[in-house]
Amino acid sequence: MILVALTLLRTTVLAPTIEQFIPKFRDAAFTWRLGKADFAELKKINSDFAQSYRFKSTAVKMKEPMKLRLDATVEDTTVSFILNGTRKLIRIPRSNLNVKQNLKNDPGKRQTPLDFGILTAGLFDDLYEATFVRTDRATSDEVFDLTYADRYKDKTRQRIWVDAAKKIINKREWYSRQGNLMATFTYAVPVQDKETGIWFSSQLTVRNADNKLAGTSTFESLKLNDGIPDSLFEIK
């Protein structure tokens, strides 16, 4: 009985928290460049998710808290996606398309820094709650389950493997509301920003639930904490 109590006490006291692995991130700008895309395998994950792999390159800008902008060009058409808190805007000037959405009660439709393997404080303000699972014996990564805050009805779950030293995500598993594995994301080839010391993964591989390669991409021309203006994330 005493041994059980001591074990429980040790787990409670020493279990890491997600806050320990969040870098001093303010903003980032980089190019998301497509490598390979197998649309048959991507669609097995999610048809909307597959659409993001139709762009050969996307200019990405993100800023705390919870601001994200994606600008991509397909042939001669520019598509802009802006997320500012819970508000979302899709803009296609050539088609006079300007669609606004309020995602206050639909967190699963928010693209976040997590998609790019980045942990930020804003993710845990009101969106995600993190629960420590274990320390992975093979990699020494700290494993956490990320679930949406209690007030949301969405039971989607993310499981992440965090490099404790570099404070980056090495692997992420995406589970559906029913608890089924949808996709596995592997983040690799970490690079360190010389000015901030922050690490950032530069390669992404995604596999579907059948463990079939669905897509690869790279993150290039990275700039961190460079002072991106809020005006770029305005939704009018």
Provide the mean pLDDT of the chain: 92
Give residue 231's region: left, alpha or beta (phi > 0; psi -120 to 50).
alpha
pLDDT tens profile 17-46: 999 999 999 999 999 999 999 999 999 999
pLDDT tens profile 74-126: 777 889 999 999 999 999 988 888 899 999 888 988 899 999 999 999 999 98
Residue 104 lies in a domain: no
Residue 236 lies in a domain: no
Cross-strand pairs, 205: 186, 216
Residue 79 lies in a domain: no
Residue 192: both structure tokens together: 């360190």
Split at pLDDT 50, 70, 90, the class of 151 is confident
Please give the model's pTM, rounded to 2 decimal places: 0.90
CA separation for the pair 158, 124 (Å, rounded): 13
Q: Which domain holds residue 37?
A: 19-56+113-220
Per DSSP, the three-state class of 123 is: helix
Percent of the chain with pLDDT over 90: 79
Residue 44 lies in a domain: yes
The DSSP bridge pattern shows strands 181-192 and 27-37 to be: unpaired
Question: Which one, of 150, 169, 141, lies nearest residue 22 by Cα?
Answer: 169
Residue 138 lies in a domain: yes
Q: Based on the number of CB atoms within 10 Å of its own CB, is 21 exposed (0-12), middle (13-18) or buried (19 or more)?
A: buried
Residue 6 lies in a domain: no
Mean pLDDT, rounded, for 211-225: 97
Q: What does the radius of gyration of the chain's CA atoms come to, in whole angstroms?
A: 18
Number of domains in the chain: 1
Side-chain-side CA neighbours of 191 within 13 Å: the count stands at 13
Tokens 């899709």, residue located: 90
Residue 211 lies in a domain: yes
Residue 46 lies in a domain: yes
* pLDDT confidence of residue 154: 87
